[in-house]
Amino acid sequence: MQAAVDDRHHLNVEPGVTNIANDRDELSRVAKKARTAIWTESLAVIAERGYFKGEEILACKQAGIAVPVPVPATNAKADGRFDKADSVYDREKNEYRCPAGQALIWRFAGLNKG
């Protein structure tokens, strides 16, 4: 089941059912149908992590639909490890502290997609 909900009126503007096991390929289709259903040219769609697929985000962008989507979480939790979200950033010391209170070592800096 896929649904698009109007954030102002909380109305389901685009219900849909698919027999595909995951919803990673549904974002642009649902967003375009929702835009048509509410008779607008400009649309911003807020999606969850499960929709993070480059081709779908690009298709929305090309259709003039803005889509802020959070980057998927790492597999650290699934592997029984802590990930960055479990740590707290200390701005004064410019370091992260793990759940056990230890300072995390700096390993590298990187630039992601420009």
**What is the predicted pLDDT for the residue at 1?**
67
Domain shared by 51 and 28, yes or no = yes
How many domains does the chain divide into? 2
Same domain, 7 and 55: yes
Q: What pLDDT is attached to residue 64?
A: 92
pLDDT in tens, 1-43: 677 777 776 677 777 777 776 777 788 888 898 888 888 888 8
User: Do 27 and 77 belong together in one domain?
Assistant: no
The DSSP secondary structure of the chain, one letter per residue, reads: -EEEE-TTT--EEEEE----S--TT-HHHHHHHHHHHTT-S-EE----GGG--HHHHHHHHHTTEE---PPPPPSTTTTT---GGGSEEETTTTEEE-TTSPBPPP-----S--
Q: Are residues 33 and 6 in the same domain?
A: yes
User: Do residue 48 and residue 84 come from a single domain?
Assistant: no
Asked if the structure places residue 111 within a domain, the reply is no
The pLDDT tens digits of the residues spanning 44-53 come to 888 877 777 8
In a domain, 52, yes or no: yes
| Residue 17 tokens, joined | 């059912």
Are 81 and 47 in a shared domain? Answer: no
Domain identity same for 51 and 16: yes
Range of the domain at 25: 2-66
